[in-house]
Chains A and B, each alone.
Chain A
């Protein structure tokens, strides 16, 4: 969950205007969604890695991102490789076989999911929530919506910390989670989920109060300490992204 948060670092993504990055996320994501070629999807994934590879703080997060994605990617790869009564099966167990085109398609599907996740992650890792809000607001999204979206991301991390604290408190009272029986697991988690919800409601109240105490909505127009400027670097990056995507689409 921590991998949703901004991490300080240096590199091309850190020097771009948040609006450029938002445009980049949008275009790469749309392209990754519609592209059918496995080779192109793997190429996009490789390019995303190369883009941020020189930034050690971000590179250090790849491991935890792929660990989180591992169950989903494994499932996609395993299920995607299987074909029913395939004549050209490389390996077959009864009517189920694994074919080379199926492996290739499964790889494409996994690459698509990884590319989409990584694109969004790169934006979140390289953009402070303040910059993200400023960028979204300058693109015409109302401030309260931008604030809510960005704060929701942060709250996920805070709730994860809270969950761990509550779980530890209940374990100290003898809670042992028997993972062999799903019903027992669900029941064992009640003493964790209930305080989590109570605390969540309390925190939501405190947050609302904090926002009011800081004058949210006091003036019709809200200013920002951030001065956003599209520089030549931003325009160059947008042009390069557009050109590469057009080239890939035409190839």
Chain B
């Protein structure tokens, strides 16, 4: 029996401005999902994943301003004819931005709200609230304010709100976006358990292919509002070029399988850890080429110095930063990693003076941050926030990009050149006269990066630059930042993506409970599995696989490293 049936679905959003055309988000989607299936809905930014989720929940066409053609039925109910509130009993939607959908004062009230809407009696509500909170690992948090929960807990609370209504179908829009490894692990484990225990039909819309491959049986890939692939997940991962062409990342183990197949003449098709371990068991190991560590260049001038910095938020019971000491040399690329709440954001906000140390000193280009305003420090450190909507205000993209340089005193031709260079770098010339607020999410992210780059500050501070981006956008942004780095800009970035750390960073520091617990090169830090586990971080899939295969230290941290270490099937003497 089909749980979800979509026939020739077209959805179009109204034009954001009179002279622009309407936005065709979905263009004739056909989809059938059987009861109990777990489907990964894949696609790049703007492919139509969120629109499809909204259509399945009934929000489209009932609550969202758009036009819809075609037919959608969930659990046998037509989403156009059945009120959304009724559909909530059949299909639960967990939105990407879970925090924005939480509106009551306590966790228990949040879960109870939907049940109260259904008119259930108080005993039944209490029973379901308690049961659902236990199911989602939120027991004991009943009286906490939802806004004070971590990102992972908020996501699980949003799931609890949907689950309490006992839906047969669960829709998850980017379930792992913005979560740290612990949060991702918990969410995926819960989805797996819910599916096993309740036999739910699950549809996960995601760009985080690494996470969804662990659970999904089937993949549906959207591209530009159309279905570009629909079939077994394994079949999709066996052809990584399809994923790359559609702007999606390839799971690291699937990439390894492709790499090994290319070099060995054998065919490897694994993408899950167990399959990979089975396929590669017994292969001899070639010792790692331990390259001599690069000569330490102590002569480089430290641009940023943190000297015994401690910081405690008002009314907090423990410090957010505790005796932090480190230096960032001019031209360095430093990655800061750690779970949520470990002090990463507090640390990076000290670099541009948004926070002043409680004790100790932060020196930026010779300036004590306590003695200078954030505006003055912006000449040295420019900051790229995660959410573009926290800063977009101008009527034209040109003015948005020009705002920072203007504040720094640039005028006339110099300002114009600076803005045009930044717009050209991000392919935004055609949008220069458009209001940035009405552009798509991907374009808004590009505008904000252009605005940051236009400031041409010697230090670029990036707060999770890859959040919410597909592979295309993420690579485009990071390559531009790398280009700036080669020209001498110092980069400091917070990220949960260890693949990005391995690819771009020169140095890594690891934060945990407000303390700096380790620092070193990406190769040493990412291979130190015991340390990573101690601070609740996961090693990269290739490192985990190497450990499982019993490879000796130093453990590999990239596909090329691991392929080069496997005798007979790797890239011996080749290009590994």
Chain A contacts to B: CB under 8 angstroms: 5-6, 8, 128-130, 151, 154, 158, 165-166, 168-176, 190-192, 194-195, 198-199, 202-203, 206-219, 221-227
Contact = CB atoms under 8 A, between A and B. Distances in A.
B1 interface: no
Contacts of A190: 393
A130 B106 contact: yes
B161 A214 contact: yes
Interface stretch (B209-217, B372-380, B471-479): B372-380
Contacts of B383: 169, 172-173
B117 A176 contact: no
Contacts, number: 169
Q: Return the 6 tightest CB-CB contacts between A and B, nearest first.
A: A174-B407, A218-B85, A215-B117, A176-B375, A194-B393, A215-B85
A209 B64 contact: yes
B391 A173 contact: yes
A56 B63 CA distance: 45
Given A128-B106, A218-B83, A218-B86, A174 B118 contact: no
A218 B117 contact: yes
B391 A169 contact: yes
15 contacts: A129-B104, A151-B103, A166-B391, A171-B374, A173-B407, A174-B408, A176-B376, A191-B394, A192-B393, A195-B389, A206-B101, A207-B101, A223-B115, A223-B119, A225-B116
Nearest to A174: B407
B385 A169 contact: yes
Contacts of B540: none
B97 interface: yes
Interface string B10-47: 00000000000000000000000000000000000000
A185 to B, nearest CB: 14
B234 interface: no
B389 A199 contact: yes
A224 B126 CA distance: 10
Interface in B82-126: 83-86, 88-89, 93, 95, 97, 100-106, 108-109, 112-122, 125-126
A214 B114 contact: yes
B181 to A, nearest CB: 25
A198 B389 CA distance: 8
Given A171-B354, A199-B389, A202-B389, A213 B119 contact: no
B126 to A, nearest CB: 6
Contact of A215 (B118, B129, B389): B118
Contact of B392 (A195, A206, A209): A195
Nearest to B379: A174
A223 B121 contact: yes
B59 A213 contact: yes
A225 B112 contact: yes
Contacts of B503: none
B440 interface: no
A223 B122 contact: yes
A172 B62 contact: no
Contacts of B102: 210
Nearest to B454: A173
A49 to B, nearest CB: 22
Contacts of A166: 390-391
B521 interface: no
B420 to A, nearest CB: 18
A134 to B, nearest CB: 10
B34 to A, nearest CB: 24
Identify the interface centre among B103, B112, B383: most chain A CB within 10 Å of its CB.
B103
A129 B394 CA distance: 37
Contacts of A194: 393-394
B122 A173 contact: no
B382 interface: yes
B207 interface: no
Given A129-B104, A173-B378, A223-B125, A198 B392 contact: yes
Contacts of A223: 115-116, 118-122, 125
A172 B382 contact: yes
B250 interface: no
Nearest to A161: B147
Contacts of A225: 108-109, 112, 115-116, 122, 125-126, 129
Contacts of B373: 171, 176
Contacts of B379: 174
A47 B226 CA distance: 68
Identify the interface centre among A168, A169, A219: most chain B CB within 10 Å of its CB.
A169
Interface string B408-451: 10000000000000000000000000000100000000000001
Given A207-B103, A215-B117, A168 B389 contact: no
A176 B103 contact: no
Contacts of A176: 373, 375-376, 407
Given A8-B143, A212-B59, A195 B374 contact: no
Contacts of A211: 103
Contact of B122 (A212, A222, A226): A226
Interface in B361-406: 373-376, 378-379, 381-383, 385, 389-394, 403-404
Contacts of A215: 84-86, 88-89, 114, 117-118, 165
Identify the interface centre among B93, B100, B378, B393: most chain A CB within 10 Å of its CB.
B393
Interface in B448-479: 451-452, 455
Identify the interface centre among A151, A171, A190: most chain B CB within 10 Å of its CB.
A171
B376 A222 contact: no
Interface in B39-83: 57, 59, 62-64, 83
A175 B105 CA distance: 34
A165 B374 contact: no
B352 interface: yes
Nearest to B452: A173
Given A208-B63, A213-B84, A173 B404 contact: yes
A219 B373 CA distance: 55
A209 B88 CA distance: 12
Contacts of A199: 389-390
A212 B109 contact: no
Contacts of A175: 375, 407
B371 to A, nearest CB: 15
Nearest to B93: A213
A212 B389 contact: no
Nearest to B392: A195
Contacts of B165: 215
